[in-house]
Structure 1
Amino acid sequence: MHEMGLCDAIVEAAVRRAGGHRVTSMRVRVTGHPVDAGVIDQGLRLAAAGTVVEGANVEVVARPPSVRCRDCGARSDAADPRLLVACPRCGGVDVDATGAEEVVLEAIAFDTAREGSS
């Protein structure tokens, strides 16, 4: 499950950014790759166990990949992964996935008190 490695990296980035503060919420954007936001959310919760990110509210913003049809030139979002194999406009199967695949920890919020201090 490659999502778990992705989730581990997101939690590591949030821990670094938090600088010892308890993270209360974070927003993660996944672009260019079809993902199930629920799977990412669950993976983040597992990866965060025992860290300052544990228990944080997580917002996953999933942006679908885009496809370009070589037959008709149409460009469209592929919110449905099945559209990666056929053009939704002409039905042609000569399509390319376009755009960057990226995962961005867009924002975190944290308590001002450091973890472990009274």
Structure 2
Amino acid sequence: MHEMGLCDAIAEAVLKRAGGRRVRGVRVRISGHPVDPEVIDQGYRLAAAGTPAADALLEVVQEPGTVRCRACGGGAPADDAVHLVACPRCGGLDVEVAAGSGAVLESITVDEPAETSG
């Protein structure tokens, strides 16, 4: 499942950036491929289970990439899974994701480390 690999990568990046601190919130921008935010949230929960990021509120921002048809040269936003396999203009099946494919960890919110008295 592609989404689970994405969720594992998000959790890994969050934990690395958090440096052991408890994570309260995560904002990730996913572009190029339509995803179901609920599926991403569930996958993230599984990937982050038992870590300081397990209970973080996950915000998924979707940004469609674009696809280009090799047959007719037409371009369209990849805002529908069908557009990733068939051109919305001519119906051709020779399409490629032209731009904007990937995931970016935009921000995380963490607890501040506890003050130690010395």
Q: TM-score, normalised by structure 2?
A: 0.82
Structure 2: which amino acid aligns with 1:112? Answer: E
1:18, CA displacement in angstroms?
A: 0.9
Q: Which runs of 5+ in 1 are unaligned?
A: none
Would you say the 8 A contact 2:32–2:99 is kept in 1?
yes
The CA RMSD over aligned residues, in Å, is 2.0
Structure-to-structure mapping, 1:1-118, within 5 angstroms = 1-114=1-114
- Structure 1 stretches of 4+ with a deviation exceeding 6 A read none
Change in Cα spacing, 1:81 to 1:52, as seen in structure 2 (3 Å) is: same
Q: Which runs of 5+ in 2 are unaligned?
A: none
CA displacement 1:43-89 (0-9 Å, x = unmatched)? 01111111110111000112233111234432111211112233223
Higher strand share: 1
Equivalent AA in structure 2 for residue 17 of structure 1: R
Identity value in percent: 58
For 1:72 and 1:5, the matched residues in 2 are separated by 33
